[in-house]
Amino acid sequence: MYQLGKKVRMSLFGRSHGSCVGCILEGIPAGMYVDEGMIERDMALRRPHTGIGTPRREEDEVCIAQGLVKGVTDGGPLLITIENRDTDGSRYLMFKETPRPGHADLPAMAKFPHHDIRGGGQFSGRLTAPIVAAGSIAKQMIAAEGIGIRAFTRSVGGVVDACERDFDAASESVLHPTRACTEEMDSSMTREILDAASEGDSVGGVVECITVGLPIGFGGIWFESLDSEISAAVFSIPACKGVEFGRGFGISGMRGSESNDPFYVDEGVKARTNNMGGILGGMSDGMPMVFRSAFKPTPSIAKEQDTVDLRTMTNGKVAVTGRHDPCIVPRAVSVVEAVTALVIADQMRRGL
């Protein structure tokens, strides 16, 4: 269950409050130089930003203990580990009895009687740290084939970036703590997050991801189609509640004569619009692949909430006072990029 991909395959391990998290990454071709500086930059983008993020501080130093010889892949599996340093599990034990609304506590305890609830145990967003590290390597692998991926924050709570954004605009998001494309959006979104935080509350948002450079016909079909596998990977990111390609749900209100992207000739075949988000029949149609994913508000909030007491089977209350992000979206941006890169790298190696 902790494994993504078939040929480029990532196997996660670790828990929020164990000694480390990490993964094995199989299938990266031998002879590839791995730029560890780039991994570091990607990890930095995932780290919580002072003010709008959790006060939990992890340096997230990525150690690639196996699979590299002088920075070059040897074709064997890469062992990636990231230490957990700033753990504090003391506040979690009560959630075994009073499961937190919006969290996996309730089904996790039904399924795994030995569930380690501290920090969410194996459901913790902490496991997305090695996903970002592995995704960074996958991004380097596919960049060599001319494929670039960039995600950004499309909305936070009520603040929605309504402009069309292309790959270059999305790339600007690395400059802003909220991963908005512009400074103005960044300040509005920051305010939205701080407002919620000041009330002991949280907000959700939408991440948009743009991939350029996929050749026409790239990707599997039917049950291995590119959009199927990407949506599965994105839904496995904690807190994701929706995925849509191109116009997505908006397309359901259109007429076919509007939604069909007309082709024309321009150094090859191009489409005049991109309502399909670059996907036809599960494969790339050569246009930028564009999808959005919805993230729910962080379920951990300081406000008191209704829950049940599982020992007594009576109604009860719970408030979550641990260290949490009032909005997970800015950090999810890196994770969305990472899983997209992993799926594309995998489909590439599978010859799809």
Q: Which one of residues 46, 47, 103, 179 is an interface residue with its own copies (CB under 8 A)?
A: 103
Which residues from 323-352 bind its own copies, rule CB under 8 A?
349-352
73: contact with its own copies by CB under 8 A = yes
**Nearest CA-CA partner of 282 in 239, 219, 334, 230:** 219
Instruction: Find the shortest distance in angstroms from Cβ 270 to its own copies.
Output: 9
Q: Which one of residues 169, 172, 187, 281 is an interface residue with its own copies (CB under 8 A)?
A: 281
**For residues 275 and 334, which CB has a smaller minimum distance to its own copies in the complex?**
275
> At a CB cut-off of 8 Å and minimum separation 6, what does 94 contact?
318
Segment interacting with its own copies (CB under 8 A) among 48-56, 74-82, 139-147, 177-185? 74-82
Q: How far apart are CA 255 and CA 313, in angstroms?
A: 52
194: contact with its own copies by CB under 8 A = no
Neighbours of 118 (CB within 10 A): 21
Helix or strand holding residue 65 (H, E): strand 62-66
**Positive/negative CA dihedral, 282, 243, 12, 334:** positive
Which residues from 5-64 bind its own copies, rule CB under 8 A?
6-7, 9, 11-15, 18-20, 22, 24, 26, 30-31
Q: How far apart are CA 74 and CA 305, in angstroms?
A: 52
Segment interacting with its own copies (CB under 8 A) among 48-56, 113-121, 133-141, 172-180? 113-121
* 2 and 124 Cβ atoms separated by less than 8 Å: no
Q: Which one of residues 104, 336, 341, 348 is an interface residue with its own copies (CB under 8 A)?
A: 104
Which residues from 128-167 bind its own copies, rule CB under 8 A?
155, 157-158
The amino acid sitting at 13 is F
190: contact with its own copies by CB under 8 A = no
Could you tell me the CA-to-CA distances from 122 to 15, 157, 242 in Å, in that order? 5, 27, 22
**For residues 30 and 144, which CB has a smaller minimum distance to its own copies in the complex?**
30
| Token digits of residue 211 | 């991939």
Could you tell me the CA-to-CA distances from 62 to 87, 194, 208 in Å, in that order? 17, 30, 26
Site string for its own copies, 199-238 (x = CB under 8 A): --xxxxxx--------xxxxxxxxxxx-xxx-xxx-xx-x
Instruction: Find the shortest distance in angstroms from Cβ 202 to its own copies.
Output: 4
Segment interacting with its own copies (CB under 8 A) among 66-74, 142-150, 167-175, 176-184? 66-74
Segment interacting with its own copies (CB under 8 A) among 49-57, 144-152, 168-176, 268-276? 268-276
**Positive/negative CA dihedral, 152, 247, 269, 141:** positive
Total residues in contact with its own copies, by rule CB under 8 A: 143
